[in-house]
Structure 1
Amino acid sequence: MPKPIDYDALLKDFITDFFPEFIAFADPELYDAIDWSRGYTFLEQELINALRGKFKIRGKRKFTDKLVRVYLKTGAEHLVFIHAEFQHQPEVGFGRRMYEYRALIGLRYGVEDISAIAVFTGAPPSMEERSYQRTTFKTRIQYDFISIVAVQEKEQELIDASDNPFAIALLAALYAYQSKKQPKLRLKLKSKLFELARSKKMPFDKILKLLIFVRDFVNLPQTFENEFRETQYYLTFPKTEAMTISKGTKEFAAGLYEHVFGYDPAVALEEERKQYKELLEKERQKAEEERLKAEEERLKAEEERQKAEEERHRMEAERQRTVLYFHETLQMPATEIAEVLNLDLTYIEGLISALEDKNEG
């Protein structure tokens, strides 16, 4: 069985790789206000460590929430809290959770200026969950944050904005949602995404990360994935018969890939093949065990059937001996034998008749 897709983690990693582009899409005003020359720092792990044991942070979310420190052109420090969420169905209490996290972050870092952005790539949340409101008599809380809902974005608007790679990421989420349980449609849409991504002018490492995100997020059944690879991989990295790739070039390419993505693709592929072989062997052993178990149960059932048949014959022979004893030795008529043994009179008469025919013969 293939591993389930962790859509939240995929999107979180994408935002890590394309943080400026993400901000430019989510909040252009904030993008213009940030002094990008001072860089930015991811703080989510630091936040998790600080809050661990003090506040309840549900398992997956401590990995998919992002907290980033930036500096504005005014010189002020600013925090950006980002939550990536793939929902199979809308969640109750999401707005309140966003408010609570904002409060915890403000207390932890002593910063009031915090931008909050939620990105939904699955089922759309209700409008009530895209903010948090609480009124107690004359005290009122109103907390609003940016909500980006992929499935409610307009396809053409995302295509028009696709010079920003995050627009393509949202388009991937939109297409994945639209093509659920429709592998042929999903193959077509995934190919469309690759073609769109290839048309953009971006550094090689950026375009490669974008293509890998699309490949993983818009997942296909293996047969369709093979078809996708045969066409799109060739178009992305075309080669001719005359092209000669030296060992040194291959090593350089592998080293570049490892530098960009943190792992050697050849090692990863070998590990994947190993795991696939192990999976096949486990499935084979399981199938063999099930076959042996089924054969064992069949033999057992056959043995029980034979025993039941033998018992039936034994009881029939015993019944016939009893009937013959009553008829020959005790000279009882058929009606009395049937009554005493609680047997059908026709059966008794037939048995006696067969006996008499046998004796006459």
Structure 2
Amino acid sequence: MPKPSTRCCIETMRDDPATPIDDYDSPWKAAVTHAFPEFMGFYFPRAAAEIDWARGYDFLDQELAQVVRDGELGRRLLDRLVRVQTRDGDEQWVYVHIEIQGQRDPDFAERLFVYNYRLYDRYRRPVATLALLADASPGWKPRGFRYRRFGCHVAIRFPVAKLMDYRTRLDDLLTGANPFALVTAAHLLTQQTRGNAPDRYAAKWRLARLLYERDWDRQRIIDLFSVIDWMMALPDELQRTLWNELEELERKQHMPYITSVERFGIEKGVQIGEQRGAANLLLRLIERRFGPPDEATRERIRASDPDTLLNWSERILDAKTLDEVLH
């Protein structure tokens, strides 16, 4: 998941101090991981039709982090690199670079251009860049980047899907067969109910009921509910009410999913524990290499996300000063 400089919650709910900040990047990564073929089929159907899904696919997030680590331009929700194979057999492997952008950014198209040629330079294989825009600016839809000098013309043009374009199709989303129809609906309803906890509760409860009505396997329902639950943050009191309603729904429909969903919450707690362990390990490495850090540095490290801690831990191998590690 992203670094602090690029982490973006599209909208925040601070009208009510008891309401947590809406978290978009974590659930989007979970959703893409759990259902990548459906993600492609929903937002980029033409590309999905050219992929040989029977031959599998591989996420290459660590490789992507190495390629773009010094190109942190703008703010985004998520970027992922996936290796796939095509149906036509002409290319053994194609790299799909997915960028989910959560905020309008004048440098967005240039960044995709930079990442695309860096990935090509690394792998010497075709790289397809695809952009999903999750921002709240209806008229912003960059599609490419180009420049021309002295007869040399360099350009990239990439497919774009924009979540706000689905606003008029909310009813279709709520009845759609693709799981990303509900994920898109959850994203839009999260934006629409910002600062209005009762409406947020009603929207989340409706999505949960629709999810339980789908003829999907048990694990998919658990995974998607986890995404919706994570995305549509509620004040504690309303969240407890929602859990009670879900428990009653499961009792009536004889669908015991709630235990697994509760386990997801425990897993989030484990992730927090892992983050703390990584922060403590980095602090020990810093102390051995550069001496005891000051309290401000300690607090900064303890508050950082796992991806940032990993990057800093890698830098410490070659850095000559603490500033080189952290900046």
Instruction: Give the TM-score band, short-chain normalised.
Output: 0.5 to 0.7
Note if 1:79 corresponds to 2:82: no
Match of 1:157 in 2: 172
Q: What SS is found at the alignment partner of 1:231?
A: helix
**What code does the residue aligned with 1:91 have?**
D
Match of 2:239 in 1: 225
**What code does the residue aligned with 1:131 have?**
G
Equivalent runs, 1:282-297 vs 2, <5 Å: none
**What code does the residue aligned with 1:167 have?**
A
Note if 1:10 corresponds to 2:23: no
TM-superposed CA distance for 1:19, in Å, is 0.1
Equivalent runs, 1:143-292 vs 2, <5 Å: 143-153=156-166, 154-160=169-175, 162-235=176-249, 237-238=250-251, 257=260
8 Å CA contact retained: 2:20, 2:235: no
**What code does the residue aligned with 2:172 have?**
E
Note if 1:107 corresponds to 2:121: yes
Determine what percentage of the aligned residue pairs are the same residue: 25
CA distance in 2, matches of 1:181, 1:116: 35
TM-superposed CA distance for 1:14, in Å, is 0.9
Q: Which protein has greater RCO, CA pairs closer than 8 Å, 6+ apart?
A: 2
Over 6 Å off, 4+ runs: 269-272
8 Å CA contact retained: 1:23, 1:31: yes
TM-superposed CA distance for 1:177, in Å, is 0.7
Query: Do the aligned partners of residues 265 and 188 (structure 1) sit closer, same or farther apart at CA in structure 2, a change above 3 Å counting?
Result: closer
Match of 1:310 in 2: none
Whose helix proportion is higher, 1 or 2?
A: 1
TM-superposed CA distance for 1:156, in Å, is 2.6
TM-superposed CA distance for 1:2, in Å, is 7.5
Aligned residues: 250
Query: Do the aligned partners of residues 125 and 48 (structure 1) sit closer, same or farther apart at CA in structure 2, a change above 3 Å counting?
Result: farther
TM-superposed CA distance for 1:16, in Å, is 0.8
8 Å CA contact retained: 1:150, 1:171: no
Query: Do the aligned partners of residues 49 and 14 (structure 1) sit closer, same or farther apart at CA in structure 2, a change above 3 Å counting?
Result: same
8 Å CA contact retained: 1:91, 1:125: no
Q: CA RMSD in A?
A: 3.4
TM-superposed CA distance for 1:138, in Å, is 4.9
Match of 2:36 in 1: 19
TM-superposed CA distance for 1:173, in Å, is 0.5
Q: Which runs of 5+ in 1 are unaligned?
A: 275-361
Query: Do the aligned partners of residues 266 and 132 (structure 1) sit closer, same or farther apart at CA in structure 2, a change above 3 Å counting?
Result: closer
Note if 1:31 corresponds to 2:12: no
Match of 2:286 in 1: none
8 Å CA contact retained: 1:8, 1:85: no
CA distance in 2, matches of 1:59, 1:135: 24
- Give deviations 1:216-266, integer Å, cap 9, x for gaps: 10111222222222213431x2269xx9x9xxxx9xx97xx5xxx9x9558
Match of 1:298 in 2: none
**What code does the residue aligned with 2:99 have?**
H
The structure with the larger Rg is: 1
TM-superposed CA distance for 1:182, in Å, is 1.2
CA distance in 1, matches of 2:147, 2:67: 28
Equivalent runs, 1:312-327 vs 2, <5 Å: none
TM-superposed CA distance for 1:157, in Å, is 3.3
TM-superposed CA distance for 1:68, in Å, is 0.3
8 Å CA contact retained: 2:146, 2:155: yes
CA distance in 2, matches of 1:152, 1:166: 14
CA distance in 1, matches of 2:83, 2:203: 36
8 Å CA contact retained: 2:86, 2:94: yes
Q: Which runs of 5+ in 2 are unaligned?
A: 1-17, 274-327
- Give deviations 1:257-306, integer Å, cap 9, x for gaps: 5xxx9x9558559889x9xxxxxxxxxxxxxxxxxxxxxxxxxxxxxxxx
